[in-house]
Amino acid sequence: MPDRGIVLGPNRYGKAEVRVVKVARDTDRHEIEDLSVTSQLHGDFAAAHLSGDNSHVIPTDTQKNTIFAFARDGVGSPEAFLLRLADHFTSSFAWVDGGRWEAESYAWQRIVSHGAPHDHAFVRSGQGVRTAVVVADGDERHVLGGLKELTVLKTTQSGFEGFPRDRYTTLQETADRILATDVAARWRYVGTDVDYNAVYESVRGLLLEAFAERYSAALQTTLFEMGARVLEVHPEIGEIRFSMPNKHHFVVDLAPFGLDNPNEVFYAADRPYGLIEATVTRDGLAPAPAAWEGIAGFC
């Protein structure tokens, strides 16, 4: 084959968004674990791209079936489940030297029937989606916890003042506005000996507390306080990254109808919106670019 001056660059492949639900039936009181799992492998797959040789291509269907088989023993936490998958694929196939495994975890709450939580009937919880990522590079493991679609709002104790003005500026300064956002956050652990479920619940609570407390001079200020609160409490977390839209609420002018509007009636605009993204990290923390590769929306 003639030299075309073209080479294969970085690549990976796998099975995306495998929906797996595990029900624990050991007792009459059932437990449910509900996930969407993506498995992607990297390693020596050049021949498949360059010559159609599939001898190293572990079928994506095999990856899907492995996820289901591993779920038979339970999930435990999304992070621990993904670590098990990473260890399996990197140890079972000599040409697989790493990969990226990602999960979304969907929470269910027991339905209350006759004043008591039901043993086997659930309602989907709508307060955010838990996320997790494991990146394997040889023997190295990077673990990211996270959440998304955590919609929060405060009706006061927020403002936006002191910004520069030019001929195109129409926004008026305010010291009392609605602040609302959809929190998407991912945090990187600095080890793997972690009670991931306990830390997740704690981090989620800390994010909500930090959002609610104190006056917010800007969404940027609140974002930093949320991240700092998490790092102050959890030494096992090295950095936390946010992507947070500013869900604007505009005071409606009711004067044409002969009515006042003392910050009570708002128009909730879905677009365009401000988008704030930032990393809150420990001073001197060694960067881990491999952990964040391919994760869109987090600077």
Residue of 15, 42, 142, 247 marked catalytic = 15
Do the annotations mark residue 60 as ligand-binding?
yes
Look at residues 221, 162, 180, 189 and name the one whose alpha carbon lies nearest to residue 79: 189
CA distance 269 to 10: 40
Q: Is-contact 67 36, C-beta < 8 A?
A: no
Give CA torsion, residues 111, 112, 117, 119, to 10 deg.
Answer: -50
CA distance 120 to 177: 43
Question: SS3 of 108, please?
Answer: strand
Do the annotations mark residue 157 as ligand-binding?
no
Residue of 56, 60, 118, 148 marked catalytic = 60
Residue 171 is given by DSSP the state P
249 is catalytic: no
CA distance 143 to 37: 15
Do the annotations mark residue 282 as ligand-binding?
no
Do the annotations mark residue 246 as ligand-binding?
yes
Look at residues 89, 105, 102, 132 and name the one whose alpha carbon lies nearest to residue 39: 102
Element (H, E) at 165: none
248 is catalytic: yes
Give the type of residue at 128: G
Known binding residues for 5-hydroxyisourate are 60-61, 220, 246
* Residues identified as active-site: 15, 60, 248
Known binding residues are 60-61, 160, 177, 220, 246
Known binding residues for O2 are 60, 246
